């Protein structure tokens, strides 16, 4: 047991310093990339005004510490290994990314969707199921991952025209 009487006296404790809005923003950005709207949502309760928050976000963008394009690139690369274009599109929209940036990213992802779906399917199953129930399970798995129906069919059913 700790018998230190100083611990019981709150007057002896140093007051906790308030973290500035900039320090809080940099702390979030040091952990991972954020979209502008996501960072704004996290910082809003700590900002004195909307004007102060928007000014800070503009400054961070000007200094290239906050970049929506970089956020999209990182998210698409990390999620693209496991998920289809539809799932990534939904996630980008949920993060409040600009629609034109979402559209261009999804168009790029669609080009490689067949290869990515095959890799996910190979890691999970490795072989075409011998019965209809097994194939249905594989179809549902890939569809739930956000791959298009056409791509899922090509991967699971092994269509000859998929090359």
102: nearest Cα among 72, 81, 146, 75: 72
pLDDT at position 2 is 54
Distances (CA, A) of 128 to 2, 40, 46: 64, 46, 53
Of 12-26, 55-69, 123-137, 144-158, the range with the lowest mean pLDDT is 12-26
pLDDT one-digit tens code per residue, 77-110 = 999 999 999 999 999 999 999 999 999 999 999 9
Question: pLDDT at position 162, please?
Answer: 43
More confident residue, 9 or 142: 142
Contacts 24+ apart (CB under 8 A), 83-87: 83/145, 83/146, 83/147, 84/109, 84/113, 84/116, 84/117, 84/142, 84/145, 84/146, 84/147, 84/148, 84/151, 85/109, 85/110, 85/113, 85/146, 85/147, 85/148, 86/146, 86/147, 86/148, 87/145, 87/146
The residue among 70, 68, 71, 48 whose CA lies nearest residue 58 is: 68
The two three-digit tokens of residue 28, written as one number: 């979030």
What is residue 163's predicted lDDT score, i.e. its pLDDT? Answer: 45
Pick the more confident residue, 18 or 120: 120
What pLDDT digit, counting tens, does each position of 144-163 carry?
999 999 999 999 987 544 44
Q: Is the pLDDT of residue 136 over 90?
A: yes
Instruction: Give the distance between the most distant pair of CA atoms in the chain.
Output: 79
Query: With bands split at pLDDT 50, 70 and 90, how would you rate the model's confidence at 10?
Result: low
Residue 129: predicted pLDDT: 86
Q: Is the pLDDT of residue 6 over 80?
A: no
- The residues near 87 (Cβ < 8 Å, ≥ 6 apart) are 79, 145, 146
Report the predicted TM-score, pTM, of the whole model to 2 decimal places: 0.77
Among candidate residues 94, 29, 119, 95, the one with its CA nearest the CA of residue 66:
29
């Amino acid at each position: 047991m700790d018998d230190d009487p100083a611990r019981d006296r709150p007057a002896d404790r140093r007051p906790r310093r308030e973290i500035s809005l900039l320090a809080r923003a940099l702390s979030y950005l040091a952990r991972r990339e954020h979209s502008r709207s996501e960072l704004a949502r996290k910082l809003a309760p700590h900002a004195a005004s909307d004007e102060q928050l928007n000014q800070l976000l503009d400054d961070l963008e000007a200094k290239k510490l906050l970049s929506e394009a970089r956020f999209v690139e990182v998210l698409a690369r990390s999620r693209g290994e496991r998920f289809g274009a539809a799932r990534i599109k939904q996630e980008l929209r949920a993060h409040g990314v600009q629609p034109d940036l979402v559209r261009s990213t999804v168009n790029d992802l669609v080009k490689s969707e067949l290869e990515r779906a095959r890799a996910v399917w190979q890691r999970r199953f490795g072989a075409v199921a011998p019965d209809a129930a097994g194939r249905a399970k594989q179809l549902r798995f890939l569809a739930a991952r956000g791959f298009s129906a056409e791509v899922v069919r090509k991967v699971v059913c092994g269509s000859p025209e998929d090359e």
